[in-house]
Structure 1
Amino acid sequence: MSDTQTINGINHLALATANLKSTLQFFNEVLGMPLVALYWMHGAENTAHAFLKLNDSSLLAFVFSPNIPTDIKLGITHSGNPGDPCTTGTMQHLAFNVDSHEQLLIMRDRIRSKGIHCFGPMDHGFAEAIYFSGPDGITLEVATLTGKNVKNWIDPEVVSAMGISSDELHVLENPEAFEQPPTSIPNQPIESASQLRMSYPEDLYSVMVNMTDNEFTETTRDAIPPTQLENG
């Protein structure tokens, strides 16, 4: 039986931007994130992909194309603050991590030194956080975990209000283990698979589903940007 928890963090978050240069400069200058990758995205015409380093195993990414719309609508595309609504499935706000209360205060001063309003810390019991606004209408947060018992923050009133039974809560707190089969599981045919699927043209999606894993890997391999190969 394999470990019940195989996800150990976020490799990267990919956000859309209509002005890649100024967005990279904001996160570089205000929050100190170094650029580690900037290239044309594989298979996406006129689309650039950029990565900023958070730590050795976690990155913040941005996707740019000239077709990205810029019409921000609060309550629909963006929340505007850490508590207001936005469309389901979109990012309500983005929180970065630091390791201590002292580092949180240093980051607050760094942000304010750029003329940006920054509020906090706010004490959430299991975490402390500061809040501010970033480019493209993104609501941003920097937080640090305090080490206090997070289980105290599973509020029975909210559990009930969300329609979660005691049995369902137990499963949420103790995810089912997955036993790796002796051979890998292929993608199911389109007609019998889950309706959760990415948006691609139907003919392309059909080809992707019917590829073996090795065929998909080799077809999409992009180990080094083509321009680097040309210049090498």
Structure 2
Amino acid sequence: MHYTGINHLAMATRDMDTTIRFWRDLLGMRLVAGLGRPGYRHYFLEITATDMIAFFEWPDVEPIPPKDHGVPVKGPLAFDHVSIGVRDRNDLWAIRDSLEAAGFWVSELIDHGFILSVYSFDPNNIAIEFSCPVPGVDIRSHPVMADKHPSAVAREGAEPRPGIWPVPTPTPYAERRVYPGEGRELMLDGDE
């Protein structure tokens, strides 16, 4: 398998216009696609050439309760926060200044040793982080396990372990089918 990044993270909003104003106009992400019909919208914003964030607009969804980044909770939870990478600390300062000027809470710059980060929330109370690498530190090239009591599986190391899961039987080319789904209308000629 060859991964290329996060194609898109799909979130939910009740107010697409406010969401677009935040992600496109405040944070500078391009709105690259939009699907819609009464009671439903699905819009995509470009983070990088290979990564997007997307939002479904559903009229009955409510913003999630605010939850501080990385603070343990009890009960159902899908994810803690999303961290979006930026080039360097100048980008972090620009994001921090923009969020603060627009009246959004935003943290100070935090040095995690391998990344620098600022934290905030979008209008849907989605916990977001913006991070840049610390120059000269690359945990992807040199994985580090600082947990003093890692689980047995974590002690096996960074690389994927063969033989853990059944070996798949490849679907024969003659049996490979692709079915139509939402979004095909983005590629249709306007005359159709």
TM-score scaled by length of structure 2: 0.79
Return the match for 1:14 from 10, 29, 32: 10
Q: Give the deviation of 1:38 after TM superposition.
A: 0.8
| SS of the residue 2:46 aligns to | strand
- How far the C-alpha of 1:110 sits from its partner, in A, is 2.0
Which residue in the other structure is 2:72 paired with? 85
Alignment of 1:1-232 (within 5 A): 6-40=2-36, 46-68=39-61, 70=62, 72-73=64-65, 80-86=67-73, 87-146=75-134, 147-150=136-139, 153-159=144-150, 164-165=151-152, 168-176=153-161, 183-184=170-171, 213-214=176-177, 217-220=178-181, 222-225=183-186, 231-232=191-192
Cα pair distance change 1:16/1:213, threshold 3 Å: farther
- Give the C-alpha shift of residue 182 in structure 1: 8.1
**CA deviation vs aligned residue, 1:23-82 (integer Å, no higher than 9, x gap):** 1111112211111111138xxx832110011111111100112242x1634xxxx5x211
Task: Say which SS state the counterpart of residue 47 (structure 2) adopts.
Answer: strand
Q: C-alpha displacement at 1:7, in angstroms?
A: 2.0
Paired with 1:117 and 1:65, the residues of 2 have a C-alpha distance of 25
> Structure 1 131/182 Cα, relative in aligned 2: closer, same or farther at 3 Å?
closer
CA contact (8 A) 2:14 2:63 kept: no
Q: Quick one: structure 1 residues 121 and 219, their matched pair in 2 at CA, closer, same or farther if it must change by over 3 Å?
A: closer
Separation in structure 2 between the aligned mates of residue 139 and residue 184 of structure 1, nearest angstrom: 39
Q: Structure 1 regions of 5+ residues with no counterpart?
A: 187-211
- The change in CA–CA distance for 1:213 and 1:171 in structure 2 (over 3 A counts) is farther
Query: What CA distance in whole angstroms lies between the structure 2 residues aligned with 1:27 and 1:6?
Result: 29
Q: Percent identity?
A: 23
Q: Which amino acid aligns with 1:49?
A: H
Cα distance in 2 between the residues matched to 1:222 and 1:156: 43
Structure 2 stretches of 5 or more lacking a match? none
1:108-153 deviation line (CA, Å, top 9, x unaligned): 2222221223212101011000111211111111101114253575
Partner secondary structure for residue 104 of structure 2: coil
Structure with higher Rg: it is: 1
Specify the code of the residue in structure 1 equivalent to 2:117: A
Higher helix share: 1
Opposite residue 72 of structure 1, the aligned amino acid is I
Question: Does the residue aligned with 2:124 lie in a helix, a strand or coil?
Answer: helix
| Shift, 1:106, TM fit | 2.0
Taking a change above 3 Å as real, the CA distance of residues 182 and 112 of structure 1, as seen in their structure-2 partners, is: same
- In structure 2, the CA distance between the partners of 1:120 and 1:39, relative to structure 1 (3 Å rule), is same
